[in-house]
């Protein structure tokens, strides 16, 4: 397969073919997303929870994001790789944001970065894209601002709220975003925003009228124990946790019963050598 570039994303968008994006946080998850043909692989700061066991995305550090980006970059040979700028790495000034974006490119080895926010981030987005680093926007529900938003709440549920999301979308498009994530927005609102824009929208909890979709890999592959809370928009396509548990149980049982390792898992020694050794 050919390497995915901003040009390929543009071509998919113009053709009306939905763009597929999935998160990855290490070499194996990057490898499988790439092998499955994901056009964009996002090293999301959701790795704070799914790979590091943190409460939310706010405590993940720049250095930690960069380390995970490097692992994914070694695995993804075809996909466009986007690194998620963590809270605190881009809000202070456009200069700070550009410095962080450069670190993502040089140390994280990603092809572009994502940052959360709307119209207020326009000068920052402009600064980064002008330096030649592609920026993916993220509007609607912005998890890094969950404390200010009063939790994980659907955005754009009123006419005024929907107008705000649309204005944010137009502002970050004007600032140079090549596409934008639209999170937790009513389907009709996301569809209308998609129609008004001339860049692709990548939806998560935003209905099927977007130009593409994104999900967190461990959510959609079911790589978590039963009982965990899942947002309404997640579809569990697999049971990786169940499969892993089954395999590890079987290994435990066979080790306890000495059924493993069997002769096919052991190295032979010529009979004559063995006889001499045993003497």
Q: Does 190 bind ligand KIV (CB under 6 A)?
A: no
Strand stretches in the chain, DSSP E: 19-23, 40-43, 80-84, 112-114, 135-140, 179-183, 201-204, 212-215
60 lies in the site for ligand KIV, by CB under 6 A: no
Residues from 5 through 34 that contact Na ion (CB under 5 A): none
| Closest separation in Å from C-beta 89 to ligand KIV | 14
Does 23 sit near ligand KIV (CB under 6 A)?
Answer: yes
Closest CB to ligand KIV among residues 140, 176: 140
Query: CB of 26 within 8 A of CB of 50?
Result: no
Alpha helices in 5-121 (DSSP H): 6-15, 27-35, 47-50, 62-75, 94-106
φ/ψ of 275, rounded to 5, equals: -60, -45
182 binds ligand KIV (CB under 6 A): no
Which structure tokens are listed for 40? 């964009």
Bridge partners of 84, per DSSP, are 114
| Shortest reach from residue 216's CB to Na ion, in Å | 9
Distance in angstroms (rounded) separating the CA atoms of residues 145 and 57: 10
Q: Report the partner that residue 216 touches, choosing among Na ion, ligand KIV, none (CB closer than 5 to 8 A by kind).
A: ligand KIV
* Residue 155 touches ligand KIV, criterion: CB under 6 A: no
In the bound state with ligand KIV, the residue whose beta carbon lies nearer, of 79 and 214, is 214
Binding mask 72-111 for ligand KIV (x = CB under 6 A): ------------x---------------------------
Q: How many residues bind ligand KIV (CB under 6 A)?
A: 10
Place of tokens 């549920």: 157
CA 56, CA 47: separation in Å to the nearest integer? 9
Tell me if 123 sits within 8 A of 91, measured CB to CB: no
**Residue 200 CB neighbours (<10 A):** 24
Measured in residues, the chain has a length of: 279
Which among 27-35, 41-49, 93-101, 266-274 is the span making contact with ligand KIV, rule CB under 6 A? Answer: 41-49
Question: What is the closest distance, in whole angstroms, from the C-beta atom of residue 132 to ligand KIV in the complex?
Answer: 23
| Site residues (CB under 5 A) for Na ion, limited to 49-108 | 84
Q: Does 136 bind ligand KIV (CB under 6 A)?
A: no
Answer for which of 29, 46, 89, 124 binds ligand KIV (CB under 6 A) is 46
Classify 275 as helix, strand or coil: helix
Q: Of these residues, 183, 254, 273, 276, which one is catalytic? A: 183
Q: What is the per-residue DSSP string for 246-276?
A: HHHHHHHHHHHTT-SS-GGGS----HHHHHH
Please pick, from the candidates 113, 184, 216, 220, the single residue that binds ligand KIV as defined by CB under 6 A.
Answer: 216
Using the rule CB under 5 A, is 45 a contact of Na ion?
yes
CB atoms within 10 A of CB 51: 19
| Active-site residue, 183 included | yes
What are the Cα distances from residue 56, in Å, to 145, 202, 278?
A: 11, 22, 59
Binding site for Na ion (CB under 5 A): 44-45, 84
Residues that bind ligand KIV in the complex, under the rule CB under 6 A = 23, 42, 44-46, 84, 181, 204, 214, 216
**Residues that are catalytic:** 183
């Amino acid at each position: 397969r050919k390497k995915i570039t901003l040009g390929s994303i543009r071509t998919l968008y113009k053709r009306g073919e939905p763009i597929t994006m999935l998160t990855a946080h290490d070499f194996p998850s990057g490898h499988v997303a790439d092998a499955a043909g994901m056009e964009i692989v996002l090293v999301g700061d959701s790795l704070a929870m799914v790979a590091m066991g943190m409460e939310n995305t706010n405590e993940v550090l720049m250095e930690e994001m960069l380390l995970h980006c490097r692992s994914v970059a070694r695995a993804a040979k075809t996909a466009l790789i986007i690194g998620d700028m963590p809270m605190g790495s881009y809000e202070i000034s456009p200069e700070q944001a550009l410095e962080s974006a450069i670190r993502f490119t040089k140390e994280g080895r990603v092809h572009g970065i994502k940052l959360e926010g709307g119209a207020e981030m326009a000068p920052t987005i402009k600064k980064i894209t002008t330096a030649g680093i592609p920026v993916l926007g993220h509007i609607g529900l912005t998890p890094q601002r969950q404390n200010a938003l009063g939790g994980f709440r659907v955005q754009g549920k009123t006419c005024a709220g929907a107008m705000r999301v649309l204005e944010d979308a137009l502002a970050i498009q004007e600032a140079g975003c090549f596409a934008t994530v639209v999170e937790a927005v009513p389907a009709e609102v996301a569809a209308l925003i998609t129609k008004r824009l001339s860049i692709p929208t990548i939806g998560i909890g935003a209905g099927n009228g977007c130009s593409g979709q994104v999900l967190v890999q461990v959510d959609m592959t079911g790589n978590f124990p039963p009982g965990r809370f899942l947002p309404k928009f997640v579809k569990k396509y697999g049971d990786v946790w169940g499969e892993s548990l089954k395999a590890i149980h079987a290994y435990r049982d066979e080790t306890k019963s000495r059924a493993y390792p069997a002769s096919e898992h052991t190295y032979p020694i010529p009979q004559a050598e063995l006889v001499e050794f045993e003497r």
